[in-house]
Amino acid sequence: MIKKIFWSLEDLKWNIRCRYNYWLHGPYGLAKMVEAMPFKYRIKYLRKYGAEIGKRCIIDSGFKIHRPARMKPFKNLTIGNDVYLGHNLLLDLTDKIIFEDNTAMGANCQIWTHVGDYLEDQHDKSDYEERIAPVIIKRGAVCYSSVILNPGVVIGERSRVFAMGMVNRSVPANEIWAGIPSKSIKARSGKLVAK
């Protein structure tokens, strides 16, 4: 009973802090609050500010959000059921990031939905181009620690990306990828993939 009272008070504290930081510092202020709050409240406040999140998900500590939207800061984040997101995960919400059911991301992973490039003169902003594309992690896929996913990548169903891989093109279903840039090293059936 006493714990429930303290949890209610703590929830009220996080609610006030989120509103205050969103009002004062905008979507990045809110994102910093979500990064700092305990696991018990993180999913609730991601949902409250636009994310779609299923059941039985775990979102570990240090959850960093890059480029939250102005009005509904986390609207580009969709997480299915039974998803695990490791600590210090960085998500770029310039475009959609979709985690289908039963997916997992290890610690220190990064998912980017935009990449920028200065074409000639790095001081002339009119010379700047950005490529923006969603990232989708399909049902049953796993990316281990420190994996980087680039814009437009789709990780196929039941595929695996080994630790410290950098994925710059889509991964077919049921394959194991590794390296920088990542490439197929094995089918999930255990048979080696032809090089």
**pLDDT tens, position by position, 139-174:** 999 999 999 999 999 999 999 999 999 999 999 999
Instruction: Classify residue 136 by its DSSP letter.
Output: E
Is the C-alpha dihedral spanning 76, 64, 105, 178 positive or negative?
positive
Question: How far apart, in whole angstroms, are the C-alpha atoms of residue 99 and residue 113?
Answer: 14
Lowest mean pLDDT among 32-36, 53-57, 115-119: 115-119
The CA distance from 25 to 15, in Å, is 15
Percent of the chain residues past pLDDT 70, beyond the cut: 91
Domains annotated for the chain, with CATH where assigned, are 50-187 (2.160.10.10)
The span from the CA of 89 to the CA of 110, in Å, is: 6
Q: What is the pLDDT of residue 124?
A: 63
For 47-86, the pLDDT digits (tens) are 999 999 999 999 998 889 999 999 999 999 999 999 999 9
Q: Is 105 exposed, middle or buried (0-12, 13-18, 19+ CB in 10 A)?
A: buried
